[in-house]
Amino acid sequence: MAEFQPLVFSGVQPTGNLHLGNYLGAIRKFVALQDEHDCIYCVVDLHALTAQLVHEDMKGQIRSIAAAFIASGIDPKKHIVFNQSAVPQHAELAWIFNCVARIGWMNRMTQFKDKAGKDRENASLGLFAYPSLMAADILVYRATHVPVGDDQKQHLELTRDIAQKFNIDFSEHIRRTGLGVDIVVGEEPVHAYFPPVEPLIGGPAPRVMSLRDGTKKMSKSDASDLSRINLMDDADAISKKFRKAKTDPDALPGETEGLAGRPEADNLVGIYAALSDRTKADVLAEFGGQQFSVFKPALIDLAVATLSPITAEMRRLMDDTRHIDAILRDGAERAGARAEKTMNEVRDIVGFLR
Ligand code: TRP
């Protein structure tokens, strides 16, 4: 029985500034995966049009995500870093997937419902078809593993559904072209062209919460900048935001059970643990019984020490746009060659004349 080559793919939208939640929840995971896997990391600029059609500085946003990847330690020579629109095969496969996916599947997407809001009739067709393009991003490389936040789980289930329907609907053609792989899905032997994609959810800090409200996710769209640590914040800003971070009046507990019902304390301890690669239990063993007046300065020192080299490197990369653009172009060339190989096969499977 053959197997699909393991390949990691993920994407980040070039909208708004990256913050500590993106770094701990996603980018650090991307960095960790590159030692053992072949990885492709994509700045999904086509997706950014679904949030907002006209962007003030799309090019700068794309560069800043790429710079954050590289400054955090992703090696763009060993792996691939590029922007989505530079590889048009993503959009081509998305069209085919638009014809595979059903309107009913898309209607169930909670992210679409949230983003479209009350006036669904006025949402763009692009926003509705967003998950189909996301499936194409992944499957145009026949990637097998996708590190994402838990909010993307439903989109990855849909990606599996699209792959499966394609494999079934075109099974005769796939067999005829000899391009499929014999795999087992669950208990079933299947002759598949597209692999079943596995989400990689979790990581050092899967959910970093707002510094103003420990029950809300840290978000680039929060009106208060005090609610988040941006990757471009300097030491003064980091320090001020943690000092002003909401807490409760009690001392830290000695064990993780004591964090129940204390979302702000839980969040700050979680951030400390993730930044120092320790468990929350371990952090509480050190700080249990201490007041926030002691814990916060330690957290500030740790955050500044961890983030400032990344911020400095990001700024350096952003100042040299020719260098970062060359990295993205090189990534797009290598990604494009792989994507074109898949699309050649897909065009053959679907039956297009070439
Ligand atoms: N939808 C993802 C998000 O908002 C971004 C994304 C686009 C993505 N295409 C992808 C993530 C492919 C993983 C794989 O976070």
pLDDT reported for residue 184? 87
DSSP codes of every residue in 92-116: HHHHHHHHHS-HHHHHT-HHHHHHH
Residue 239 carries which side chain, given as an amino acid letter? S
| Intervals of CATH 3.40.50.620 along the chain | 8-204+321-350
Residue 17 pLDDT level (bands cut at 50, 70, 90): confident
DSSP per-residue codes, 176-218: HHT--EEEEETTEEEEESSPPPEEE---S-S-PBPSS-TTSB-
Residue closest to 283 by CA, chosen among 256, 308, 309, 313: 256
Check pocket membership of 208 for ligand 1, CB cut-off 6 A.
no
Strand, coil or helix: 81: strand
Q: Rounded to the nearest whole angstrom, what is the distance from the C-alpha of residue 11 to the centroid of ligand 1?
A: 4
From 29, 39, 42, mutation site for ligand 1 pocket: most ligand atoms within 8 A of C-beta: 42
CATH of 8-204+321-350, one of 3.10.20.600, 3.40.50.300, 3.40.640.10, 3.40.50.620: 3.40.50.620
- 206, pLDDT greater than 80: no
> Could you report the per-residue pLDDT of 54-86, keeping only the tens digit for each?
999 999 999 999 999 999 999 999 999 999 999
Q: What is the pLDDT of residues 279-306, one digit of tens each?
A: 999 999 999 999 999 999 999 999 999 9
3: confidence class by pLDDT, cuts 50, 70, 90: confident
Angle between helices 321-350 and 58-71 (to 10 degrees): 100
Outline which parts of the chain fall under CATH 1.10.240.10. Answer: 225-317
Active site residue 216: no
Strands 39-43 and 8-12: parallel
Task: Give whole-number Cα distances, 153 to 2, 40, 122, 148, 188, in Å.
Answer: 27, 19, 26, 8, 23
pLDDT of 205: 67
Tell me the DSSP string of 212-280. Answer: S-TTSB--TT-S-GGG--BTT--HHHHHHHHHHS---SSPPPSSGGGGTT-HHHHHHHHHHHHHTT--H
- Residue 139: which residues within 8 A CB-CB, separation 6 or more? 93, 97, 159, 162, 163, 194, 195, 197, 342
Domain topology for 225-317: Tyrosyl-Transfer RNA Synthetase (1.10.240)
| pLDDT tens-digit series, residues 117-135 | 999 999 999 999 999 999 9
Which of 217, 244, 246, 341 is flagged as catalytic? 217
Binding site membership of 233 for ligand 1 (Cβ less than 6 Å): no
Q: End-to-end alpha-carbon separation of the chain, Å?
A: 31
pLDDT value of position 221:
85
Residue 48 has pLDDT above 90, yes or no: yes
Instruction: Tell me, yes or no, if 220 is annotated catalytic.
Output: yes
